[in-house]
Amino acid sequence: MTNAELLAEKKARLAKVIALEKPDRTPVILMEDSFCAVHMGVKLSDFCSSLKRENEVMVSSVKAMGPGVDGITAPYGAGNLFPLIFATKVKLPGKELPDNTLWQLDEREIMTVDDYDTIIDKGWGAFQRQYLIEKINYPFDSMMEQLGHGQEFINNFEEAGYLVYSPVVAATVNEQFGGGRSLPKFMRDLFKIPDKVEAALDVIQAETVAVLRQQIRAFKPQVVFLSPARGASAFFSPKLWERFVWKYLKATAEVIIEEGAAADLHIDGDWTRDLEYFKELPKGKCIFETDGTTDIYKIKEVLGDHMAIKGDVSPVLTSLGTPDEVYAYASKIVRDIGPNLILSSGCSLPPNAKVENVKAMISAVTGR
């Protein structure tokens, strides 16, 4: 079978799972970036030097895992791109951190209350570029130029017979203020000036959704990654969660679906309280991706007949467990969750995950 035929088979397999149909087998999607560097013996400082370098290393790592892998979440790493999502500084290996230390968000209060008014009056796009360059010293223009090579990075995987699961990435707009204001100050703002915060978020939402539509039309992705990150029920009272998280999460997911892609809802933290809300989204058009904090069996109970489920082999298990333990857990969820499961790690594979453990996870689908 040629790589093109393998790729077509993998895309068809994924499409069936998303549509709640029975595939020939459970697809395996690796969510990884820093792990690839360690796997290939590359310093994290070298890995983070450019998106092109990240792509090269990640392609090599996925190839080394063998044809049992259907694809990888994104065609490059996350570390360099976090400021675009969280509006805060990120410390990088080889710069603010030692060569082999994982990147770290350096969250602190950088945005001011006055910035809400600036965003409302002048718009998000102009504010974001100036803010990132002047306040965070982020190489905004260079990063935009690198992101312009996105199709090339996707092609490098597809030519090797692996799909890129979500070449387009989005985040709910509340993350910009949760990072830029800092989460404690943002939470305070929700009580003191909720109307102003919502007005600013509405401005950001309108602009980012317009860009998202353009990206989907350009890349024609099968799936779009949508992260509410710190939007979990555990952080918000129900009324605040509905107004400042669910409102934007639901609206963005609906745009993704309207544009012809499936919405991968990357769910960090415990969302048990609010699982029923996800039934408001169209059936067979979304994937609930759990990091393991929201119990995968509870997700199946509430949403198992409504959307696909992705996860959920934990970073603890892949880094500290044995191959037999990983194989046993992965085999169990493949069996128990059933044909609407996409097997993956719970959030991203950690850099210290053992290669033999990742292979054991894959073998739960392909056989040992």
- Return the closest-CA partner of residue 162 out of 345, 4, 7: 7
**367: number of Cβ within 10 Å:** 8
Q: Cα–Cα distance between 250 and 243 in angstroms, integer? A: 11
pLDDT in tens, 183-203: 999 999 999 999 999 999 999
Structural domains present in the chain: 3-79+148-366 (3.20.20.210)
Q: How many CA atoms lie within 13 A of 359 on its CB side?
A: 11
Q: Cα–Cα distance between 233 and 71 in angstroms, integer? A: 30
pTM (2 d.p.): 0.96
Sheet containing strand 29-30, strands side by side: 29-30, 71-72, 163-164
pLDDT in tens, 113-158: 999 999 999 999 999 999 999 999 999 999 999 999 999 999 999 9
- Please provide the average confidence, as pLDDT, over all residues in the chain: 97
| pLDDT at residue 368 is higher than 80 | no
pLDDT in tens, 62-88: 999 999 999 999 999 999 999 999 999
pLDDT reported for residue 335: 97
pLDDT reported for residue 1: 87
| pLDDT at residue 46 is higher than 80 | yes
